[in-house]
Amino acid sequence: MRLLLALGNPGAKYRDTRHNIGWWLADRLARRWGAEPFRTDGATAWATGSGRPGVEIHKPLTYMNRSGEALAALRAARRFDPATDILVLVDDVALPAGRLRVRKRGSPGGHNGLASISASLDSNDYGRLRLGVGRPPDERIDLAAWVLARMPRAEEEEALGAFPRAVDAVEYWLDHGVEAAMNRFNRPG
């Protein structure tokens, strides 16, 4: 069992915000793998596709800051090793729009969704694919307001332009593991 945990917030109000870029990628992966529509089961909406048997794509419905609650429910129902079998798809303000970075472990770096997951696992040892959404252009802009806002069209196009590479990174992680994916995709380009 391999799990992709795409962080975001449920509801139309949040659908097109920077914080939901993980959900955007989850939707792209579901289409690529021929998944049926996401179905709700407990604390997540989830899908599987014939293109990747044994892989589940989950979108926590607990809101970003409580993503760990959804993961705890998954751990109670499924057998997996968080260090090798989970890849979290998450927005990252430290990366410009259109950039991505694969990580094997690390601190939440101020991201409340990752902090919730780390608390739930009592560990920072789980894979993540960080998707760049950029920093506010002015330090007076509240970071929470920034990630909960929609990207301007040009930035959104840059972010979406990285999705083919992000899809490749996820598939490479599935086939070769997180360290191999880090070596291959953590280069500029």
Determine which helix (DSSP H) or strand (DSSP E) holds 71, and give its type and residue range.
Answer: helix 67-77
Active site residue 176: no
DSSP for 43-64? TEEEE-BTTSTTEEEEEESS-G
The residue annotated as part of the active site, out of 19, 58, 111, 176, is 19
Please give the single-letter amino acid code of residue 48. T
Rounded to whole angstroms, the Cα distance separating 125 from 184 reads 20
Rounded to whole angstroms, the Cα distance separating 56 from 85 reads 11
Question: The tokens of 82 are what?
Answer: 């968080």
DSSP for 123-171? SS-SEEEEEE----SSTTS-HHHHHTSBPPHHHHHHHHHTHHHHHHHHH
Of 109, 91, 115, the residue nearest 21 (C-alpha): 91
Rounded to whole angstroms, the Cα distance separating 105 from 125 reads 5
Q: Active-site positions?
A: 19
